[in-house]
Amino acid sequence: MTNRPGQHRINADPDTTEQSLVGLVLTVVELLRQLMERQAIRRVDHGDLDDEQIEKIGLTLLGLEERMDELCDHFDLRREDLNLDLGPLGTLLPPE
């Protein structure tokens, strides 16, 4: 079967498909983690939290970051691999 102009072949290699899907899922998780971190910082800056809440949020965010590192290591990904290039809009993940 030949490809006509405008048709694209789908790479259905299970290894690359799994890696791409894992990368996409981890990208979404990393985006959410960064958003949660920024929200926590805003709440701390506004004085909305007491010391115990600040401690809990800090430990939770630290644990999430460590878990992300573990997942990236497990799936042989780097954090940089998770940052999608959105063309003229720039990259998905803001610099930390």
Domain ranges of the chain: 17-79
Asked if 22 and 75 count as a contact pair (C-beta separation under 8 A), the reply is: yes
Q: Looking at the whole model, is its pTM more than 0.75?
A: no
% helix / strand / coil in the chain, to the nearest 5? Answer: 65, 0, 30
Using CA atoms, how far apart are residues 32 and 26, in angstroms rounded to an integer? 10
Which residues, other chains included, contact 72 with Cβ-Cβ below 8 Å and sequence gap of 6+? Answer: 26, 78, 79, 81, 82
For the residues 18-31, what does the mean pLDDT come to? 88
pLDDT of residue 85: 81
Using CA atoms, how far apart are residues 71 and 46, in angstroms rounded to an integer? 33
Per-residue pLDDT tens for 26-48? 989 988 988 899 999 999 999 98
pLDDT of residue 6: 47
